[in-house]
Amino acid sequence: MTSITTAVARAGAAVLAGLALLVGAVGCGASNDDTSTAVVATATPSMDGDVQVFKVVGLRNLTYSASTLAARPGTIRVEFSVEEGSASHNFVIPEIADARTDILGSGESQTITFTVTQPGDYSILCTLHPNMTAVLRVS
């Protein structure tokens, strides 16, 4: 009886290990979806006359497409969009009254323009996802 119990226990352990590997592979597998936007550490603006222009995307993985927006004092335009298939997001800089979008759904976009005169780091956040943050660095 002991050898039968040991064999059953080993078979059960092997089945559980196999299931754990399968669940891990399914839950952590890489996406083959080429439409996902890559996150960059620091984004620099394009220029439209004297206006600094940033294109920022709210992504499915609850991040912004850039963790830092590097700007200089002056007028800034943010062209904010939400990635297709993503949850709703917004773009808010609490310290700057005009620097906030509406809450936008998948595939939607909104442009905001504001002026920053003081150098410093300004926090960017999504009010729906507290861990979704970035920084506007004005220097």
| Alpha carbons within 13 A on the beta-carbon side of 17 | 6
CATH of the domain at 66: 2.60.40.420
Residue 62 belongs to some domain of the structure = yes
Q: What is the pLDDT along the chain (139 residues), one digit of tens a residue?
A: 555 544 444 544 444 344 343 333 333 333 334 445 667 899 999 999 999 999 999 999 999 999 999 999 999 999 999 999 999 999 999 999 999 999 999 999 999 999 999 999 999 999 999 999 999 999 9
Regarding pTM above 0.75, the answer is no
Tell me if 18 sits within 8 A of 11, measured CB to CB.
no
Does residue 122 form part of some domain?
yes
Tell me if 134 is assigned to some domain: yes
Place of tokens 């507290």: 130
